[in-house]
Amino acid sequence: MNDLVSLWEKVGRTFERVYLTEEAVLEQIRECSPLSIDLAILHSVYINGDYINFEIKPTVGVEATQIYPDIKYTTVDEYLNRLL
């Protein structure tokens, strides 16, 4: 998320960043009744890093660029530049 915000800031947008400790996030999850699945997923992703840098195993799948090599893929940075 910080990388995405940094890209926006690089092109002139500004954002207020609010940092929470892991304990604060876990407390918010505990306070929700019933248990907030959204907060639990956010904890898993942003604090534990469960989605970051995963490997695509050849027995499970392949990267999209291998399936569709003729497609011109757009980076997030390129897309943000189009919006401005």
What band does 49 get if pLDDT is binned at 50, 70 and 90? low
Q: How far is CA 54 from the centre of its chain?
A: 13
Counting the structural domains of the chain, the total is: 1
Q: Residue 48's domain spans which residues? A: 21-83
73 contacts: CB under 8 Å, gap ≥ 6: 64, 65
Question: pTM of the entire structure?
Answer: 0.42
The answer as to whether 3 is a domain residue is no
The predicted pLDDT at position 52 comes to 61
The predicted pLDDT at position 6 comes to 86
74 contacts: CB under 8 Å, gap ≥ 6: none
Report the percent of the chain where pLDDT is more than 70.
86
d(CA 33, CA 52): 29
CA-CA distances (angstroms) from residue 53 to 49, 50, 56? 9, 9, 10
SS3 call for 66: helix
The answer as to whether 14 is a domain residue is no
The answer as to whether 1 is a domain residue is no
pLDDT tens figures, 3-24: 888 888 888 888 888 888 888 8
